[in-house]
Amino acid sequence: MFMPICREDMKARGIRQLDFVYIIGDAYVDHPSFGAAIISRLLEYHGFTVGIIAQPDWRDPKSVLRLGLPRLAWLVTAGNIDSMVAHYTVAKKKRSDDLYSAGGRGGKRPDRAATVYCKMCRAAAPEIPVLCGGLEVSLRRFAHYDYWKDTVMESVLVDAGADILMFGMGEHSIIEIADRLNAGEDVRSIRDVRGTCYLCDPKETPFGAVQCPSFAEVSQNKEQYAKACRIQYDWQDEVYGKTIIQRQREKMLVQNPPTLSLSTEELDLVYSLPYERTYHPCYEKEGGVPSIKEVQFSITHNRGCFGFCNFCSIALHQGRRVTCRSEQSIIEEAKKLTKMKGFKGYIHDVGGPTANFRGPSCEKQLQFGLCKGKKCLAPEPCKNLHVDHSEYLTILRKLRALPGIKRVFIRSGIRYDYLIEDKDGGFMDELIEHHISGQLKVAPEHCSAAVLDKMGKPHIEAYKRFQRRFYEITRRKGLDQYLIPYLMSSHPGSRLSDAVELAVFLKENKIHPEQVQDFYPTPGTISTCMFYTELDPYTLQPVYVAKNPAEKAMQRVLLQYYKPENQRKVIEALIKAGRRDLIGHGEGKLVPPDSQYTREQRSAEQRGKSGSRNDARGRKNAAEKHAPRKGGRKGGKG
């Protein structure tokens, strides 16, 4: 049974007033891949009633009152995806689709949805607490660079007006807050819950906190912004993390230490709750909700990622510590899938943020936390890295053996740099033989060491090792399998010459990427800090950033140099990069010459040179005309 979405649902359950009314920016999907589904089911498990208002009409303030006023609090989330990313491409063009809305149609939620919904709730009932959470607010909890406005904005709490912001994974936080509200505690006194932020008068600032440069400082000084970014990341650890504060004009933002990761037993409980595992039937007439297709028959087995790529939001949101579900919990979920309508014998994924992580990268992080300012896998694997796929492999084998299951695929990210360090080759053998359907997607992202360092990724040698091993195994097994690399253009640190280097690498390795990701500066990431400040927050050294649309377009087409429609733009990029040697026919060339374009280009260059010579000659003649003559006038004494 779904959560109530209307008064009739409440009446059928005998509910006069809901404890919580949950305003969400996505269509209502009751599946554990959706944060709102997990939070609502967990509250229900703990004895609270929750109603869902999905995508209320933000033009009608009364639309949040559909279920009446909540007894304890409004809950607000923009949904699984940032509303600005959902609405705009990296070129800031409006999208027409939205996979998290009914029928896949866009326009059903506002820009900055969490802020808009919080304001609606506050206006509807100022006396009722407003609690916000989810990815959108989690990554905007500090003063942050906003790519769409091209400016630094205050913490989202300032504009949204919520009482408490829950960042990261909110299971522990929401239950503690719910219990305290239910016990009659004033929301303004709930200031000690891990994984939460609040605003207070500066005189109420707690002692012992780590202070970031203020909003005023980071909005006016890029070096101060970079320093603030490093502080925010350095103290995001559940073992040694501290309270962080940042002045926001007349208020102080206080971020408590991160919430503790869920234990295996707690994760098992979360995934055992009675989800319907699909979208609400009210969307059927519009064709359903497209985002369910990839996850409906998938299983999440872990959380967190110690990979810690600089362009990824996981470290600041979900956290770097990896926790996992038990084998039995995963098997039980798989059995449920085999009984679901529409299941055809295929589990689409057994993964998570990184599919092949099942535990901490080393033993010491359980006691001391993850190393501050360092990465477990980049630029090279840490000497303390513990690599073990045995438990994951055992689970996959048991899933394959279940009645009713034909194939078990792995579609979420495999960290090839971690996998290739495994001395036991059993997992890679079985991955290739049983768990991919012709293609395995991996993410080298680039080949230039300078760019990979700014991405926080391992150098390309790790990918080359993995690639060789992959194709050796596929040939040995007589399989027709391919690697599909994810690649990114225009990441901070990437010059046009780096994009050319990547294009050459792709040609040498016979890689023809169908899709290329242009770097998208989303709030809160280290890469976005570099994009805005043009500084590395860990060294404060300058970082080259391609911001000119023409150069960004050149970097992008170089990654798809082989497409005929890109030929002219690729030639233009190669000429600009000083790499005419890559234009021509035969081995070692990227593109054949475009005779018409080449003539036009050379003609323009000749005109430019000729113009320069004429200009120089004109300047020389003018100078000679107006210069005083030696000796003065002819015949004069000088």
Q: CB neighbours (10 Å) of residue 623?
A: 9
Q: What is the pLDDT of residue 539?
A: 97
Give the per-residue pLDDT at 514.
Answer: 82
**Model pLDDT, residue 623:** 47
pLDDT in tens, 8-44: 999 999 999 999 999 999 999 999 999 999 999 999 9
Cα pseudo-dihedral 6, 7, 10, 11, rounded to 10: -140
End-to-end Cα separation, the chain, in angstroms: 108
Mean pLDDT of the chain: 93
The Cα 193–Cα 537 span in angstroms is 29
Q: What is the pLDDT of residues 311-332, one digit of tens each?
A: 999 999 999 999 999 999 999 9
Helix (H) or strand (E) holding 131: strand 130-133
The pLDDT of residue 189 is above 70: yes
Summarize pLDDT for 99-108 with one digit per residue, the tens: 999 999 999 9
Instruction: Return the structure tokens found at 408.
Output: 């078990």
**Residue for token pair 């202070």:** 211
Burial tier of 622 (Cβ tally within 10 Å: 0-12, 13-18, 19+): exposed
- pLDDT greater than 60 at residue 486: yes
Give the model's pLDDT for residue 635: 34
For residue 529, what pLDDT band results from cuts at 50, 70 and 90? very high
pLDDT of 615 reads 57
Q: Would you state the structure tokens that stand for residue 451, as one six-digit string? A: 């760019």
Confidence (pLDDT) at 606: 64
pLDDT for position 262: 97
* Residue 605 pLDDT > 70: no
Confidence of residue 413 (pLDDT cuts 50, 70, 90): confident
Q: What is the pLDDT of residues 544-593, one digit of tens each?
A: 999 999 999 999 999 999 999 999 999 999 999 999 999 999 888 999 99
pLDDT at 630 over 60: no
Supply the pLDDT for residue 545: 98
Q: Where are the beta strands (DSSP E) in 149-307?
A: 151-153, 164-166, 196-200, 210-211, 244-248, 251-255, 278-279, 298-300, 302-303
Q: Coil, strand, or helix at residue 33? A: coil
Question: Comparing C-alpha atoms, which of 320, 322, 301, 321 is closest to residue 309?
Answer: 320
Cis amide leading into 56 (omega within 30): no
Neighbouring-strand partners of residue 50: 20
| Residue 632: predicted pLDDT | 36
Query: Can you tell me the mean pLDDT for 47-71?
Result: 97
Do 318 and 167 meet the contact criterion of CB atoms below 8 Å apart?
Answer: no
Mean pLDDT computed over 437-460? 96
Q: Which helix (H) or strand (E) holds 488?
A: strand 482-489
pLDDT digits 0-9 by tens, 351-403: 999 999 999 999 899 899 999 999 999 999 999 999 999 999 999 999 999 99
pLDDT, tens digit, 9 for 90 and up, residues 102-145: 999 999 999 999 999 999 999 999 999 999 999 999 999 999 99
Residue 597 has pLDDT above 80, yes or no: no
Reported confidence tier of residue 626, pLDDT bands at 50, 70, 90: very low
pLDDT score of 515 = 81
The residue among 46, 51, 57, 58 whose CA lies nearest residue 36 is: 51
Contact in structure between 83 and 25 (CB atoms under 8 Å): yes
pLDDT of 627 reads: 46
> Distance between CA 175 and CA 171 in Å, rounded?
6
Binned at pLDDT 50, 70 and 90, residue 149 comes out as: very high
